[in-house]
Chain A
Amino acid sequence: MTRMSLWEYANPVRFMALSGRVLPVAAVLAAGLMAVGLVWGFFFTPDDFRQGSTVKIIYLHVPSAMMAINIWVMMLVTSLIWLIRRHHVSALAAKAAAPVGAVMTVVALMTGAIWGQPMWGTWWAWDPRLTSFLILFLFYLGYMALWAAVDNPDTAADLTAVLCLVGSVFAVLSRYAAVFWNQGLHQGATLSLDREQNIATVFWLPLVTCIAGFVALFVVLVLVGTRTEIRARRLRVLEARERGQ
């Protein structure tokens, strides 16, 4: 047997077989982790000293915000793989990830607004983080619109991949432009790897559970989206063959 490598799964048949096995596990994991994390966070953690019970929206806000950014990074990687190695599964995964990322961005913005109203006294402020997320949302919209607008699937995959690459550079630039432009209301990062302690352990554990649940949910949604797309393509090929005969 030859050495196994990741590129094996660029073959749609192998990808379908593997993802078919992973999907139920990931689905159960996502449902379980999110149920545990959210119930734990909402009902079994104490209220914050100053923010009261509003702080509990953090269990939706932080994971969705993290996913919104990381999904774009994932799309960047898959777009690069598509441009360099021409694996269709990669392009389709990027396509499937975009709507999930856009929804995550909206969830982060909306939970942020709901949190901001009692805390800052406003639904919206032109704060660097908020602004960057709005711009990120525009990038997601443009990316999806371009996929939808171009008829030929390979052309669409190429164009959106180029857009994703260029967009990434501008997304980072916008982030720094927004920081330069306005000092914000938003607090600093809730979690970061280079700090001794982030937030108190009572909040930290359910939060990490929720984040893991969001990641699993994302995996499930992308796999379902990619599998649907592969099946749709097979169907189109079969139909074309039918007509040809």
Chain B
Amino acid sequence: MIALFRRDLVLAVRAGGGFGLGLAFFLIVAVLVPFGVGPEGGTLARIAPGILWVGALLACLLSLDRVFALDWEDGTLDLLAVSPLPMEGVALVKAAAHWVVTGLPLVVAAPVLGVLLQLPGAGYGWLVLSLALGTPALSMIGTFGAALVVGVKRGGLLLSLLVLPMYIPTLVFGSEVVRRGAEGQPVGVALAVLAGGTLGSVALLPFAAAAALRVNLR
């Protein structure tokens, strides 16, 4: 498992694209939005939590079709299927690698972009915390979606359509944490549900993703 994890990370970093793409997209969204809505501090501060979360979600969506596509094309996935590592483990490792490559940079970059969007001071901690808790769920759900469409040629649009409705709870609770945090309201419930959603996804979705992979490899 660790070897597979390291292999995925090395491939993502060395092959270019994968590593920087999501981050660059996130950056572009956060920089462009103020030009679109105007520079008034009040408006920006009010929509900043939502913009940052939507940006993170879309950045995550952008790189999803790479999770399995290359391994599917060159036959690595078939080899992994006959290896002693169960498919559930493969799915989990793939999701973890995707998170480290896409989600983690977003978590790190988010506070900087928060400054650009004039996020109120109280919101930064919650922004980082909510992204750190929520983006693993995005990666895991996305990995499940990618496992479903791995056999479909040009499955990108289909993948977005499948994954989008499943992202909504994470998005709602994630941005709610930041919004409430920035306004100084209690965040406990939203934070707990967000963390619960992530833990549930990470615990259960590898099985669903593995089932889908097995069907596709049959």
**B34 within 8 Å of A (CB atoms):** no
- Contacts A170-B166, A173-B197, A180-B190 given; does A163 touch B161 at CB 8 Å: no
- Stretch of A93-101, A142-150, A237-245 that contacts chain B: A142-150
User: Could you say which residues of chain A place their CB within 8 Å of the CB of B109?
Assistant: none
For the side of the interface on A, what is the size category? 20 to 34
By a CB distance below 8 angstroms, the chain A residues around B176 are 180-181
Closest to A157 in B: B215
In B157-178, the 8 Å CB interface with A consists of: 158, 161-162, 164-166, 168-169, 172-173, 176
Q: Which residues of A (212-244) have their CB < 8 Å from a CB of B?
A: none
- Give every chain B residue within 8 A of A167 (Cβ-Cβ): 165-166
CA distance A158 to B148 in the complex (A): 10
- Determine which of B151, B164, B205 lies in contact with A166 in the assembled complex, contact meaning CB atoms within 8 Å: B205
A172-184 contact mask (Cβ, 8 Å, vs B): 1 or 0: 0110111011000
Q: How far is B58's CA from A235's CA once the two chains are assembled, in angstroms?
A: 44
User: Does any Cβ of A come within 8 Å of B81's Cβ?
Assistant: no
Complex contact B151–A155 (CB within 8 A):
yes
Rounded to whole Å, the gap between the CB of A151 and the closest CB of chain B is: 9
Whose C-beta in chain A lies nearest to the C-beta of B172?
A177
Q: How large is the interface on B (under 10, 10 to 19, 20 to 34, 35 or more residues)?
A: 20 to 34
Query: Is the C-beta of B111 less than 8 angstroms from some C-beta in chain A?
Result: no
Known: A135-B165, A159-B216. A181 touches B158 (CB 8 A): no
CB atoms of A174 and B148 under 8 A apart:
no
A162 touches B165 (CB 8 A): no
Chain A residue nearest to B189 in the complex (CB) = A180
Q: How far in angstroms is the closest Cβ of chain B from A171?
A: 8
A59 at the interface (CB under 8 A from B): no
Query: Does B131 have its Cβ within 8 Å of any Cβ on chain A?
Result: no
Cα(A146)–Cα(B215), bound, Å: 14
Please judge, given known A-B contacts A149-B155, A155-B218, A173-B197, whether A166 and B144 are in contact too, CB under 8 Å: yes
Give Cα A138–Cα B158 distance, bound, in whole angstroms: 11
Instruction: Judge whether A16 is part of the interface by a CB distance below 8 angstroms.
Output: no
> Interface code A125-148, partner B: CB below 8 Å = 1, 0 otherwise?
000000000010011011001100
Most chain A Cβ neighbours within 10 Å, of B155, B165, B189, B211 = B165
Q: Provide the residues of chain B in CB contact with A159, threshold 8 Å.
A: 148, 212, 215-216
- Residues on B with beta carbons closer than 8 Å to the beta carbon of A176: 169
The contact sample of 11 A-B pairs, CB cut-off 8 A, is A135-B165, A145-B162, A149-B155, A149-B158, A150-B152, A155-B151, A163-B162, A165-B208, A173-B169, A174-B165, A181-B172
- By a beta-carbon cutoff of 8 Å, the part of chain B in contact with chain A is 144, 148-149, 151-152, 155, 158, 161-162, 164-166, 168-169, 172-173, 176, 189-190, 193, 197, 205, 208, 211-212, 215-216, 218
Beyond contacts A159-B215, A180-B189: 16 other A-B pairs, Cβ-Cβ < 8 A, are A135-B168, A141-B161, A142-B164, A145-B161, A146-B148, A150-B151, A162-B212, A165-B208, A166-B166, A170-B166, A170-B168, A173-B169, A177-B169, A177-B173, A180-B190, A180-B193
